[in-house]
């Protein structure tokens, strides 16, 4: 498919990002920092929150409708030609969209494209590039049917994006994952930069609905950086983004200043990641969709709120929904379990009933209404799936964002 489009993935500069959680926030921050440094930056992420066009952006502007229509027409023509020659030839939707993004970024001549994997890394559709920097945010259990049932197996998939001689930036990986990355970087001759060892965030504190933090690596420290994201895990994501942008600038001999980093981080809003969308009622959306993500969410909410919180959770059937629901119901007194709208992967009502925990509602809207009736002043958090967070955001912010 890519060859039929002229092999756009072989041209230009790339930054490739994988990880169980945090890859979207990190990719977004990397792009913002490089944009602040004067580069024209493509950004490919999934899933979208408000509109499909968000999947491929240039300088954080989603692909315009007319350009998306043109890109689809070109890609569809290439696919039709391939099917004429090979009737059994086919691609998945994600493969088609990935090819579309590579073609679009080449057409618009971006300086660099930040590419987020779909799932895993080694066999992911995006793993057809040789990036300037590879990034692995963290490794935890998720997508076990595709990636394996152990941390080591999942890490092996994700470490598949590491290419010979290409520097790698990672979070502070758990020992099983770190061992995999150590072996991989040794075999590829890639320099490894690890959070907590080679760069870190020595201090951070809440700053409104955001954070003020410091960053430190072998070059020195940057103090009083602000980011409009909450959750202590975002400190690690922002540090990874800074280190990645610095390495990219160094390898490509592009000037990147402390002011660029400061400006890029300050602009790094990212929807549905502990995002406050309303003060009255107080509503927060979060896309935590696996046990590790829910664990981070629980810690963050206890830090943000001293009083009770209502949680509305919708979980997909192919996730570890029992563990996720258990964590939420243990941490919060009021938890509503709801179906995720608009996806065949939604956990059916019977699945929720087997949990014997939480209050079941037939929609997130019904749960929201019940929460507001019970206590209109209590903060409400809608979570469990990015698809649920997206549906709620589209409805509640229709015409606003």
Tens of pLDDT, residues 262-317: 999 999 999 999 999 999 999 999 999 889 899 999 999 999 999 999 999 999 98
pLDDT digits (tens, 9 = 90+) for 272-281: 999 999 999 9
pLDDT for 36: 98
pLDDT digits (tens, 9 = 90+) for 322-355: 899 999 999 999 999 999 998 888 888 778 777 7
Backbone angles phi, psi at 80, to 5 degrees: -65, -40
pLDDT for 286: 95
Least confident range from 8-12, 113-117, 313-317: namely 313-317
Report d(CA 95, CA 98) in Å as an integer. Answer: 5
What sign does the dihedral 238-244-248-249 (CA atoms) show? positive
Report d(CA 366, CA 371) in Å as an integer. Answer: 9
Q: Are 32 and 264 in contact (CB under 8 A)?
A: yes
CB burial readout 39-72, b (16+ within 10 A) else e: bebbbbbbbebeeeebbbbbeeebbeeebbeebe
pLDDT band with cut points at 50, 70 and 90 for residue 370: very high
| Angle at CA of residue 164, ends 139 and 24, nearest 5° | 35
pLDDT for 352: 76
> What are the CA-CA distances from residue 358 to residues 44, 124, 208, 260, 305 (Å)?
36, 36, 31, 46, 20
pLDDT for 210: 96
pLDDT band with cut points at 50, 70 and 90 for residue 401: low
pLDDT for 33: 98
- The yes-or-no verdict on residue 400 having pLDDT over 80 is no
Higher pLDDT, 141 or 59: 59
Preceding peptide of 114 cis, ω within 30°:
no
Q: Are 372 and 273 in contact (CB under 8 A)?
A: no
Higher pLDDT, 150 or 240: 240
Report d(CA 276, CA 229) in Å as an integer. Answer: 10
pLDDT for 382: 98
Q: Are 109 and 79 in contact (CB under 8 A)?
A: no
pLDDT digits (tens, 9 = 90+) for 40-54: 999 999 999 999 999
Higher pLDDT, 250 or 317: 250
Count how many Cα atoms sit within 13 Å of the Cα of residue 400 in the half-sphere of its side chain.
Answer: 8
Report which secondary-structure segment, H or E, holds 135.
strand 133-136
Other CB atoms within a 10 A radius of the CB of residue 263 amount to 16
Q: Are 56 and 43 in contact (CB under 8 A)?
A: yes
- The yes-or-no verdict on residue 143 having pLDDT over 60 is no
- Across the range 96-124, mean pLDDT stands at 96
DSSP string, 147-213: H-SSHHHHHHHHGGG--TT--EEE----HHHHHHHHHHHHHHT--EEEBTTTEE---EEE-SSSEEE
pLDDT for 100: 96
Task: Work out the mean pLDDT of the chain and round it to a whole number.
Answer: 94
3-state helix, strand, coil split of the chain in percent (to 5) is 40, 20, 40
pLDDT for 399: 62
Q: Are 153 and 145 in contact (CB under 8 A)?
A: no
Q: Are 285 and 383 in contact (CB under 8 A)?
A: yes
pLDDT for 398: 82
Q: Whole-structure pTM over 0.85, yes or no?
A: yes
Q: Is 84 exposed, middle or buried (0-12, 13-18, 19+ CB in 10 A)?
A: exposed
Which residues, in sequence order, are CB contacts of 76 under 8 Å at separation 6+?
none
């Amino acid at each position: 498919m890519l060859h039929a489009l002229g092999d756009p993935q072989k041209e230009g500069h790339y930054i490739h990002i994988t990880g169980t959680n945090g890859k979207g926030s990190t990719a977004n921050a990397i792009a913002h920092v490089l944009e602040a440094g004067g580069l024209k930056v493509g950004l490919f992420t999934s899933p979208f929150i408000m509109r499909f066009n968000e999947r491929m952006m240039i300088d954080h502007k989603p692909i315009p409708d007319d350009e998306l229509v043109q890109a689809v027409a070109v890609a569809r023509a290439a696919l039709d030609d391939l099917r004429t020659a090979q009737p059994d030839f086919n691609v998945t939707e994600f493969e088609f969209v990935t090819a579309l993004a590579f073609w679009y970024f080449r057409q618009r001549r971006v300086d660099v494209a930040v590419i987020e994997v779909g799932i895993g890394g080694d066999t992911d559709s995006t793993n057809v590039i040789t990036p300037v920097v590879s990034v692995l945010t963290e490794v935890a259990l998720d997508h076990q049917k595709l990636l394996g049932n152990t941390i080591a197996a999942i890490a092996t998939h994700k470490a598949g994006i590491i290419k010979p001689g290409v520097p790698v930036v990672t979070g502070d990986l758990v020992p099983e994952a770190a061992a995999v990355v150590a072996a991989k970087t040794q075999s590829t001759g890639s320099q490894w930069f690890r959070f907590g060892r080679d760069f870190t965030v020595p201090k951070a504190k809440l700053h409104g609905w955001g954070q003020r933090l410091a960053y430190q690596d072998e070059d020195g420290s940057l103090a009083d950086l602000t980011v409009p994201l909450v959750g202590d895990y975002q400190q690690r994501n922002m540090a990874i983004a800074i280190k990645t942008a610095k390495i990219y600038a160094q390898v490509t001999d592009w000037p990147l200043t402390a002011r660029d980093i400061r400006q890029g981080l300050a602009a790094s809003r990212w929807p549905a990641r502990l995002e406050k969308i309303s003060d009255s009622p107080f509503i927060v959306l979060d896309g935590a969709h696996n046990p590790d993500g829910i664990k981070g969410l629980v810690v963050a909410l206890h830090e943000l709120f001293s009083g009770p919180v209502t949680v509305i959770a919708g979980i997909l059937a192919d996730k570890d929904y029992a563990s996720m629901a258990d964590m939420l119901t243990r941490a919060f007194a009021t938890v509503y379990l709801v179906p995720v709208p608009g996806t065949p992967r939604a956990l059916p009502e019977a699945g929720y009933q087997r949990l014997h925990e939480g209050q079941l509602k037939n929609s997130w809207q019904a749960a929201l209404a019940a929460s507001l009736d019970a206590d209109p002043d209590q903060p409400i958090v809608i979570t469990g799936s990015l698809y649920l967070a997206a549906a709620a955001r589209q409805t509640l912010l229709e015409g606003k964002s």
